[in-house]
Structure 1
Amino acid sequence: MLRPVVYLGCRLLTWSPRGPSRAVVYLACRLLTWSLRGPSRAQLGFLQTFQHPLIGAKNLPTQLARVLSADSSQVTLAGVAPVFSVMKIASNGHVSYYERNKSELCQELGLQPRDLRFQHLFSIISRNNCVLMRMEHLKAILSSDHLLLLDFRAGPGIEAWLRGELIPQLLGQGQLATYSLPFEFWALEAILQHKIGELQRTLSDLEPSVLHTLEGVLNPQLLSLDRSQLHALLQTSRSLSELETDVRVFRESLLNILDEEELISDLCLTRSGGKPAVTHAEEMELLLDSYLRQADEAANSIRGLKELIDDSESVVFLNLDSHRNVMMRLSLQLAMGTFSLTLFGLVGVAFGMNLQSNLEEDPRSFWFVTGLMFMGSGLMWRHLLSFLGRHLVPSAHPPVFDCISRCYSRMMPTSRPPSANSV
C-alpha cells in the first residue's frame, strides 16, 4: 500500500515543467504521510522543512529521500518480528495449531519478551502462572489447563513423539497414573520422560561401539595397534563427551529446582485456597527426584566409559613406549656391533700401510688375520651384550601387558579366567 502512494506523490512533484507549486507539493506531502500507522517523524520533519520560508523546495529531493529511507527501515524492522508455530494441547486432549507473533504471544500469556528467548539449552522456570521449559529442541509453555509447544517442527523426531506418545501421557497414562494430580504434572512428566529417554537411547547406542572398539584396542594378543580403531575410538569419545555435557546440564537444571522449595512450589500451578497444596509440592519433588536419579545413573555410566577410554589411552602410550624402548635397544646393539667391527678392523688397516713385514710373503697370514678380526669382533660384541643384559634386565611380566590385562578384565567383567587343567 505504501509504494503506490509514494509513486503518486513523486509524480505530483514532477508534474509541472516549471517546478511544483506550493499546493501541489502540499498535496504530495499529504499523500506521502498517508498510511494506516500515521505519519512518521521523518515525514513530519519533511513537512516542516518545506513550510520554512528560507528553505522552501530547494532541499526537496534530499528531504524526500530521507523520508523514503526512514519508512523503508521501519517496514524492515516490523517485518523481522519472530513468529512461533504453536501447537496447543488442552487438558481434555483437544489439539489445535496456529501461529503467533512474539509480542502477541506475550500479551496472551502475560509474559515479558525476554521470557521467550529460551537462551539456555535446558531450563525450567516459572513465570506468571506458567512454566517455561526448554529441552534442547523442545520449547514448551505449561499452564494449569493447556500445553503450548513452540516451533514443534524444528527438532528431529519431535513431531512424531507429539502425535504418538505425548497425548496419551497427558491423558493420564504415565508414571503418575495412580494419582489424581493436576494437568501440569502430566505435561512436565511427559517432557522430562521424553528427554531422559533420548539421553538413555543415545547412551545405549554409544556403549556397544565403545566397548567393541576398546576390545580391539586393548586386546593383549595383538602386538600392534590398528589406526582405524583408534580413529573410531576418537570419534566415539567426542560423541560421549557431548552426551556427558547434555546429561550434566539436564541434571543441573533439575538440581537447581530441588535445592529451592519456593521453585518447587512455583511449578505447582493449580492452586488450592490461594496456595499450592502441600501434597502437590511433595509429588512435584518426588517427580523431579526420580528423573534426577535417572540422570545420575546415565552420568555414572558415561563416567565409567570415559574411564575405560582414559585407561586405553594410557595403554596406548605405554605400548608406544615399549616399542620405542625395543627400537632403542636394537639400535644400541647395532652400535655395539659396529664398534666391535671398527675396533678389530684396525688390524687390517695396519696391514694396509706401506710398511715392510714378513707376513705378506706367507700365504696363511691373510686367513689368520681375517679370522682374528672376526673372532675378536664377535667376542667383543658378546661381552658388550652381556654388559647390556646385566644392566637392562627386562622384568618377567612387562607392565604394559599387565595394564592391558587389567583394562581388558574391567571391560569384560563376565569373562572367566582359564582353568589350570586347560593350560
Structure 2
Amino acid sequence: MVHVVPADLQAVVAVKKKAQPSRSWVLLDSTGETTVLDVDKYAIMHRVNIHARDLRILDPLLSYPSTILGRDGAIVLNLEHIKAIITSEEVLLRDPSDENVVPVVQELRRRLPPANVIRQGQDYTNGQNDVEGDEDESPFEFRALEVALESICSFLAARTLELETAAYPALDELTSQISSRNLDRVRKLKSAMTRLTARVQKVRDELEQLLDDDDDMADLYLSRKLAGTSPVSGSGAANWYPASPTIGSKISRASRASIATVRGDENDVEELEMLLEAYFMQIDGTLNKLTTLREYIDDTEDYINIQLDNHRNQLIQLELFLSSGTVCLSIYSLVTAIFGMNIPYTWNDNHGYMFKWVVIVSGIFSAILFVLIMSYARVKSLVGS
C-alpha cells in the first residue's frame, strides 16, 4: 500500500524542520585554524565539559538575557547574536552562517596567531625576548573574549548611530509640521529605540555585575586554572611544557602569563578588570546616547503638546466669541421680535417711534454686553496664565 502525504502536511513538516535550531558550530583553535562542526548538543557538552543548563543558554529558541558565565574549563558567552563557548585553547561559535557572526569569526582569525608563529616560538630555548613577549601577551580566552565584547559593542553602537541618523531629522520635521505621517514615523522610531535601549542595558548590566564580583572574574581565568592543575617543579618552568604541540602551545603562550599570578596572588583580576572596564565604558557611552535621544524625544513631545494646547485654546476662544455673539444676537432678536409682532395694542397707537428706539437701544445693549463678555474672558485668561 502506498501512502500519499498531503501537500499541507509536507509544508508543516518543512516549517518544523526550519524552526529547529541549527546544529552548526564553527571551531577556532589557538593556531587560528577554523573548522565547521555539525554536531548535537551532547557532543558539544562532551567536548567542552559543561552542563546542559549552560548549553541551554545558547539555544536561539530560548530567550535568555545577556550572560557571561565562568565554568571549570570554559566561558559560556551569550551576547545578542554572539553565542560562544570559550576554552583556554579554542572557541566554539554557534550559527557560523549568520551574517552577524561572520565578522566575529574573521576578527578571531585575524587576532589569533598563525600556526607557524607558534611553532617558531616553541623552537626558541634561550630566547629571553620571546619569554618576555609571551608574558606580556594576554591569555587566549581573554583575547577571544575581547573580540566578542568589541564586536557586540560595535554592533550596538552602529545600531544606535543608525537610529540617531533617522530619529533626529524625523523629530525636527515633526516639530515643523505635525501630521499623521510624521507622528507614525516617530512612533516607530521610539519603539525601536525602546527595544535597542533594553538590549544595550542587558549587556551593560552583565558587565557591571562581573566588575562588581571578583570571584566571578576569577572564574574566567581558564589559563590560570589550567596552570594551577599542572605539575610545577621547584627548579623552573621546564616541566610546564607537555610533549603535545597543541597543549604545549596552549600553556606556553596562554598560561605562561598566569604562572606568576598562580605563584603569587590567585585573586588578582586586574587584567580582566581593565578589559571589562574598557568595554563597559563603551557600552555605557552607547546607553548615554540612547538616553539623550529619549530625552530629545520627550522634549519634542512636550513641545508638540504645548503647540496642541495653544491651538486648542485658540479654538476655545473662537467658540467663546461665536457663543457670545450668538447670545447677544439672540437678545436683540428677542426684543425686536416682541415689538415687531402684528398684534393690535392700544398703547401702540400714535407711538410708532417707540419701536425704533427700542430696536436701537436693544442693539446698543447687545453690543455692550458682547464687549463686556469678551473683556471678562480676556481678563480671566490673563489671570490664569
TM over 0.5: yes
- 1:388, CA displacement in angstroms? 2.2
Does the Cα contact within 8 Å between 2:95 and 2:101 map onto a contact in 1? no
Q: Does 1:168 align with 2:110?
A: yes
Give the corresponding residue for 2:214: 261
When normalised by structure 1's length, the TM-score is 0.66
In structure 2, what is the Cα distance between the partners aligned to 1:180 and 1:244?
A: 35
Q: 1:351 to 1:97 in 2, by over 3 A?
A: same
Give the corresponding residue for 1:96: 35
Which of 147, 167, 170 matches 1:213? Answer: 170
In structure 2, what is the Cα distance between the partners aligned to 1:231 and 1:318?
A: 19
Q: Does 1:304 align with 2:288?
A: no
Which of 115, 118, 143 matches 2:54? Answer: 115
In structure 1, what is the Cα distance between the partners aligned to 2:333 and 2:20?
A: 91
Q: Does 1:329 align with 2:268?
A: no
Give the corresponding residue for 1:380: 369
Give the corresponding residue for 1:10: none
In structure 2, what is the Cα distance between the partners aligned to 1:381 and 1:308?
A: 45
Q: 1:234 to 1:387 in 2, by over 3 A?
A: same
- 1:157, CA displacement in angstroms? 2.8
Give the corresponding residue for 1:157: 100
1 or 2, which has the higher helix percentage?
Answer: 2
Does the Cα contact within 8 Å between 1:258 and 1:264 map onto a contact in 2? yes
In structure 2, what is the Cα distance between the partners aligned to 1:321 and 1:82?
A: 53
Unpaired segments ≥5 residues, structure 2: 1-18, 115-133, 231-257
Give the corresponding residue for 2:242: none
How does 1:5-404 map onto structure 2 within 5 Å?
A: 84-118=23-57, 120-153=64-97, 155-159=98-102, 161-171=103-113, 179-219=136-176, 225-271=178-224, 272-274=227-229, 276=258, 277=261, 281-353=269-341, 354-356=343-345, 370-393=359-382
- The DSSP-based 3-state class of the residue aligned with 2:137 is coil
Deviations 1:206-261 (A, max 9, x none): 11222212222334xxxx62222221111111111111101110011111111111
- The DSSP-based 3-state class of the residue aligned with 1:393 is helix
Paired positions, count: 307
Give the corresponding residue for 2:16: none
In structure 2, what is the Cα distance between the partners aligned to 1:84 and 1:382?
A: 83
Does the Cα contact within 8 Å between 2:82 and 2:152 map onto a contact in 1? no
- 1:341, CA displacement in angstroms? 1.3
Q: 1:308 to 1:91 in 2, by over 3 A?
A: same
- The DSSP-based 3-state class of the residue aligned with 2:88 is coil
Deviations 1:158-190 (A, max 9, x none): 22x145433112349xxxx99411111111000
In structure 2, what is the Cα distance between the partners aligned to 1:107 and 1:206?
A: 42
- 1:370, CA displacement in angstroms? 4.7
- The DSSP-based 3-state class of the residue aligned with 1:97 is strand
Give the corresponding residue for 1:54: none
When normalised by structure 2's length, the TM-score is 0.72
Q: 1:243 to 1:178 in 2, by over 3 A?
A: farther
- 1:89, CA displacement in angstroms? 0.7
- 1:365, CA displacement in angstroms? 7.1
In structure 2, what is the Cα distance between the partners aligned to 1:107 and 1:389?
A: 83
Aligned CA-pair RMSD: 2.9
Q: 1:362 to 1:123 in 2, by over 3 A?
A: same
In structure 2, what is the Cα distance between the partners aligned to 1:82 and 1:391?
A: 68
Percent identity for Structure 1 against Structure 2: 27
- 1:203, CA displacement in angstroms? 0.7
In structure 1, what is the Cα distance between the partners aligned to 2:135 and 2:296?
A: 42
Does the Cα contact within 8 Å between 1:86 and 1:97 map onto a contact in 2? yes
- 1:123, CA displacement in angstroms? 0.9
In structure 2, what is the Cα distance between the partners aligned to 1:156 and 1:330?
A: 59
Q: 1:171 to 1:236 in 2, by over 3 A?
A: farther
Give the corresponding residue for 1:18: none
Deviations 1:96-130 (A, max 9, x none): 11211111221222222222101523111122310
Deviations 1:43-99 (A, max 9, x none): xxxxxxxxxxxxxxxxxxxxxxxxxxxxxxxxxxxxx99762111111111111121
Does the Cα contact within 8 Å between 1:82 and 1:101 map onto a contact in 2? no
Rg comparison, structure with higher value: 1
In structure 2, what is the Cα distance between the partners aligned to 1:82 and 1:380?
A: 80
Does the Cα contact within 8 Å between 2:72 and 2:222 map onto a contact in 1? no
- 1:194, CA displacement in angstroms? 0.5
